[in-house]
Structure 1
Amino acid sequence: MTARQRLLGFAPAAGAEELRDRLAALPGPPMELLPLGPVAALLQAAEPPARALLLAKDRAGLLRQLAALQRRLEAACLSGPFLPADPGAATLPEATWPALLPAQAAAAARALACHGGTHQWDVILRWSPEALLTAQRGRLEGLGRAAMAEAVGAILAQARTLRQAALLQALAPRVLAVAEAAPVAEDAAIGATVRVPAGGEAAIEAALFAMPAALTQEVAADLRGPLPPLAFAAARVAEVPADAIDRAWSLLELPEVVAPAELHRRWRGLAGRLHPDQAGQAADPGRFAEAAEAYRLLRGLAGGATAVRRATLTRSPACHLLLPEPL
């Protein structure tokens, strides 16, 4: 069976060996460092696929695998600038990485400089449903079982809605980005996932203090982090068939060889014709979205190249490294 490796992420070349050794000291598969000029890629031997562990009913093994991966990613982001890879889209045959990564070294360095100094936090707020329902006792008195259950559900849902809206409103101006909500499977809890500069968790605390006092009485806050910004900026690998490249090339009406500046100019011209604000009733949102995706694909595949040749991309391996957009 072909050996496979998982990409953990990218770190500055300076200090990368020390970081590799630090991660290798934690539980987990063997580590490897792939130097790429100004940056280095951190890889580890791929674990058994999660599906295989589930089929083998090895739940404990799956949990150990996930916990070990999380510890290494957390340690990497605490060490300094680190651009994580999406754990669900970063495993390839071992021989693929030395051919895939060097071509994107310059782009990976730019993405690391842009995103590597940020952290992700999960913000969870919890409160006592009993205290909330006690305050609504008059609304519940005299109700039958079915009506009682419905009324209780409505009270709890209203509390979650009000607190969720207040939390997002307080966080938005104080952090770099907010995900809609972290999933919280509880009747008396809400959550959000946020992105802040490294060491910027004080902004989260300031947001919590800025929420209306009536919505934070007897509410406990649970901050989980710092984590690498996987929800906001993660590298990943994707299979891009040659026909997808051909379609993108034709859609943007590109010559066989195109410079990045010309690629951008062609996209801007096409976007101007297709964008709903410009095209009015003749706008085709589907075609605009397709053109935007074509531009993102080709720009990502171009990396730091001074010119992109169609024939080169269609002959290249089907797997490509996709990096997060600049801030």
Structure 2
Amino acid sequence: MSINLIKINPLISSGWDDAVLKSPQPQFFHQSCWLKTLIDTYNFKPLCFIIQDGGGGAVPFLVIKSLKGKKKAVALPFSDGCDILCSGIKEDELVTTLLKIAKEEKLDRLEFKGVTGFKPFAEVSHSYYGHKLQLSKDEKKLWKNLSSSKQRNIKKSRKENISVTFHNEIDSVKEYYRLHCITRKRHGLPPQPMRFFESIQSNILTKGFGEIGLAKIENTTVAGALYLFSKKEVLYKFGASDKNLQFLRANDLLMWEAILRYAQRNFAHFSFGKTEKYHDGLCRFKEGFGAEQIIMNDFCYNVKTGNLVKDAPGVHGFHNKVFELMPIPLLKFCGEILYKYST
């Protein structure tokens, strides 16, 4: 059975955001402001659909061309969770319909990234962890959720007179990006292009869909983070810090102040994004705030055969050592050229 889908351009039709917001569990990455950010930065092509059958819903794809010239539709690249918003229909039938459309569009692959509730078939291409914290206006309750080490770190950071502020202007984005590049180098990865963060600022932050958090000691920024908003959920997208000043524990204070801030603004959940299963330290950092672990899955299909493709991101390897040794200007150049292909 074929599912009835209507193709829509979310950048020019208000019907897209209307369909997203009417769904039971909209995520930030479904919103047109995020799609516009990726399209403006990387020149991806939108291939998005509104579901007419069942309880309705929305399916966002961006079409990406590889260095070899092959094309794939991804829902969604560079996004920490993109469940397919559908209800009252069979998920395997939706995938079958989308594979048929992908053939007509002459695509090579069809990918669903970071889904939790959507599971069309038993087998998955790749899985990793997500972490979510239920928010409450009761500060004492949130404090009790913290691990003892997090409580100590927050107290220490306050004694060091670390200040935490939240911003949406371009100067604060640039200050965050400075730390972001340092952190990416430390991890052996090129940073996203600066124009990506400029697009975030113009399409998202100025529209009230996110904020930059900065932690400072006097006039020195020691940690920063990007937070993004959907209807009921806040998402921690990026974090960065000065390793030489990590003894100040500013990362922990910044995250704690963000949790308190967004709890008082009536958000229901705080998402810490996705984490590969081998990142034990990052999992401990997130779980230290009381976040619960969930499983997130990728489903990737060969359009020609319709078969599921086993896949794993090539984040770790010899290339990390090479990037780690590069000066930041060269690392930025690599990010400008290569990052759009790292989906």
TM-score, scaled relative to structure 1 = 0.25
Q: Is the radius of gyration larger for structure 1 or structure 2?
A: 1
RCO higher in 1 or 2 (8 Å CA, sep ≥ 6)?
2
Which is strand-richer, 1 or 2? 2
Please give the TM-score of this superposition, normalised by the length of structure 2.
Answer: 0.25
Query: Which structure shows the higher helix fraction?
Result: 1
